[in-house]
Structure 1
Amino acid sequence: MTSGEMTRADEISAMVGEVFTTADYYEVGREKVREFARALHDDNPFHWDEEKSRAGGHDALLAPLTMVAIMGTKSQAQLLEDHIPGNLLKSGVLQVDQSFTFHKPIKAGDKLYCDVNLETYRTVAGADLFTVKTLVREVNRGVLQESWTSLAGPGEDAGRLPDDFDEIVDQVIFSGADSHVDPLVPSSRAEIPVREDRPWTTIPFDELSEGMSLPTRQQRFTRGDVINYIGVSGDPNPIHHSDAVAKAAGLDTVVAQAMLTLGTASGYLTSFVGDPAAFLDMSARFTSPVYIPADAPAVVEYTAKVKSLNPENKTAMITFGASLNGKRVFGRCTATVQFS
């Protein structure tokens, strides 16, 4: 390399903070809200019953907290494939963390744009560690939520994959992924709003106590669940449905989507809280994959407890976790909720 020539890491780092946005909006359909809630095993009535949602102060069905996965994942992939150099999405990328800040709820009828940018990037022992920010804004209501997806990739050394890995993937991956894709366009950072200060339809704050546990929930995940989530969310990654690709990537077998297990966790929490709009933020670290056998379900156990209370503003921090066969699926996970 000659003096002054940029390295791969330099070229990637130079793009940190450059914001791009979707060229057209995504309109949230009422039945899509229900379809996504069904995929997450989320029975919260605010996703299903318009009368109950109106009684809770909303003029339409509310989307599950993680519904940004539908448009956000596609926008992130476009950013990393078309605008960020270095092929950060080369095979072997794993999702490490996911966090959200909720400003206003997403609801049926919203027309959403996604702003995406590479928020951070560094290399550790040759591996790529990077975070992509996705900001969701509605054409009339402004910014609704922000999310940060942290990923780890093999960097310039992907030699652990078999030489025919790309060919294996090509035989099973969805063949229409490149059809009718609008390009991202350059944009600027949106102004973050002041959150609405209003009571939500939750359980009363006075019924909470520090250290109280939420009822444990066991959720079965089958191959049918992960395949259904592929169709609902549009996630094309074949490690979620092909044993051949999963094993070629170094996995034991097909794995559940991280956002499926986290989305189900969010439904577990909102079933206790009541109103999904009361959530201020949520974050999770993914520590081990959820392997899905071909002929039996994987049973994930969700637990949570009230970690701390703030009587002054009636907020609570809830810590939650998930385990499979006694092994932790999530690391430290928290959600901050505004109670009534």
Structure 2
Amino acid sequence: MEAAFDVAGLVGHRYRTDDFYEVGREKIREYARAVQDFHPAHWSEDAAAAAGHRGLLTPTTFLSIAAMLANRRLIATLTTGYDMFVQTDQLFELHKPVLAGDRLVIDVELSSVRRIAGKDLLTITNTFTDPAGEIAQTMHTTVVGITGADIDAGIGPRIERVIMNGLDAMPRTTSTLDSGPQHQLSAVSRTRLPHTAIRFEDITDGYELPARTVHLTRGDLVNYAGVSGDANPIHWDDGIAAHAGLPDVIAHGVLTMALGAGFVTDWLGDPAAVIRYGVRLSNYTVLAAASTTGIEFTGRVKSLDPATRSAVVVIVAKSAGRKVFGLATADVRLA
């Protein structure tokens, strides 16, 4: 089944949320717990202050929560030709630390549509801007639009019986903007001095990060669904996962990304030292009901830049012997 409209013709469609998203102190802690990120700067004001922050620091992928809220209008009203979306890529560009109490306005844009092997790949770009007009973060999310030809015809009614209520309540947004610039944004600032436990002089090309294994249960998936707002039942309902053609319930893509980010920031010792984090998913992480599932993270330094005292780290994630990340890199600054 083809999409019910020319989705490529919608590239450039965008809007801005009318209401700001306020970063909550306890929401940071909830999210950090859900993604098993226990760096003190996400939990303790004293630890955050010691790193130069005026409040709790958000984990690397935290703003995916706000993006999901802001994108609902786009998903609901512009992509009605699809029955489901599967995430493939996500790129986080972190321009400055996002802290408890920050109020961010979100611009949403359908920035790209590509057709590969008969499938539409849609990229949604979110720009998070503070009241001073400075960019806090830019996020690019790529999903594959799945039509009814690719899934069991009975999945729709079954989803309606189990999906949480209230998802139709859309955040307020302004009317669609034209294709011109929405606002002038200040230059990206990455001048903050990093507080990393690892110094630039401590590493070389090929340096290997200490491996870390994270364990997930069905309870972790349910908790993440509640905290993040990702209510897709393929992450907690066996029957719907089967209707979708999956071998079992699978972990959220952004959850595995968040775990990978925590692996890097735990090594760094300073979550705010990550300035870019991108992941391409190549496989899903399957969770059987009767057991826990492990994801093993390893990493190595791919390149170093002495001029900026920065490094590019390649991250590998494996579960049940299969690579979960096709390609994942983090650009980090070092003390």
TM-score, with length taken from structure 1: 0.92
8 A contact 1:287–1:328 mirrored in 2: yes
Aligned 8 A contact 2:4 2:81 in 1: no
Counterpart among 26, 30, 40 of residue 25 in structure 2:
30
Pick closer, same or farther for the CA change 1:298–1:189 going to 2, 3 Å. Answer: farther
Distance in structure 1 (CA, Å) of the matches to 2:271 and 2:261: 9
Matches within 5 A, 1:105-184: 105-140=97-132, 142-154=134-146, 157-179=147-169, 181-183=171-173
Q: Which residue of 2 aligns with 1:90?
A: 83
Q: CA deviation at 1:69?
A: 1.4
Report the aligned-residue RMSD: 1.8
Partner of 1:234: 229
How far 1:176 sits from its partner (Å)? 1.8
Contact 1:101 1:145 in 2 (8 A): yes
8 Å contact 2:125–2:138 — kept in the other structure? yes
User: Given that residues 95 and 189 in structure 2 are in contact (C-alpha distance below 8 angstroms), is that contact kept between their aligned partners in structure 1?
Assistant: yes
SS for the counterpart of 1:168 is helix
Deviation larger for 186-195 or 202-211: 186-195
Q: Which residue of the partner structure matches residue 303 of structure 1?
A: 298
SS in 2 for 1:131: strand
Match of 2:40 in 1: 45
Contact 1:79–1:184 at 8 Å: present in 2 too?
A: no
Gaps of 5+ in 2: none
In structure 1, the gaps of 5 or more residues are 1-6
Matches within 5 A, 1:1-12: 11-12=6-7
CA contact (8 A) 1:54 1:60 kept: yes
Tell me how far 1:232 sits from its aligned partner.
0.5
Secondary structure in 2 matching 1:214: strand
Q: Which amino acid aligns with 1:94?
A: V
| Structure 1 match to 2:188 | 194
* CA contact 1:96–1:287 (8 Å) conserved in 2: yes
Q: CA contact under 8 A between 2:283 and 2:325: conserved in structure 1? A: yes
Q: 1:273 aligns with which of 264, 268, 274?
A: 268
Return the offset for 1:180: 6.1
Paired with 1:192 and 1:320, the residues of 2 have a C-alpha distance of 31
Equivalent-residue separation in structure 2 for 1:159 and 1:209 (angstroms): 50
What SS class does the counterpart of residue 149 from structure 2 fall into?
A: coil
Q: Measure how far apart 1:141 and its partner are.
A: 6.0
Maintained 8 Å contact 1:81/1:89:
no
Q: Distance in 1 between matches of 2:252 and 2:164?
A: 16
**Superposed displacement of residue 119, structure 1:** 0.8
Q: Deviations 1:72-129 (Å, cap 9, x if unpaired)?
A: 01222321222x2x425522x2111111111011110011221111111122343211
Which deviates further from its counterpart, 281-290 or 139-148?
Answer: 139-148
Give the whole-Å Cα distance in 1 for the aligned partners of 2:189 and 2:81. 34
Provide the residue aligned with 2:327 in structure 1.
332
TM-score scaled by length of structure 2: 0.93
Q: Does structure 1 residue 320 correspond to structure 2 residue 315?
A: yes
**Could you say if the C-alpha distance between residues 313 and 163 of structure 1 is closer, same or farther in structure 2, counting changes exceeding 3 Å?**
closer
Q: Matched residues in 1 for 2:315 and 2:164: separation?
A: 34
* 1:164 CA drift (Å): 2.2
CA positional deviation for 1:240: 0.7
Is the Cα contact below 8 Å between 2:3 and 2:81 reproduced in 1? no
CA distance in 1, matches of 2:5, 2:236: 36
Output one character per residue of 1:240-284: Cα deviation in whole Å (capped at 9) or x when no partner.
111111100100111100000100111111111122211111111
Partners of 1:259 and 1:128 in 2: CA distance: 20
In the TM superposition, residue 17 of structure 1 has moved relative to its aligned partner by 1.5
1:17 aligns to what SS in structure 2?
Answer: coil
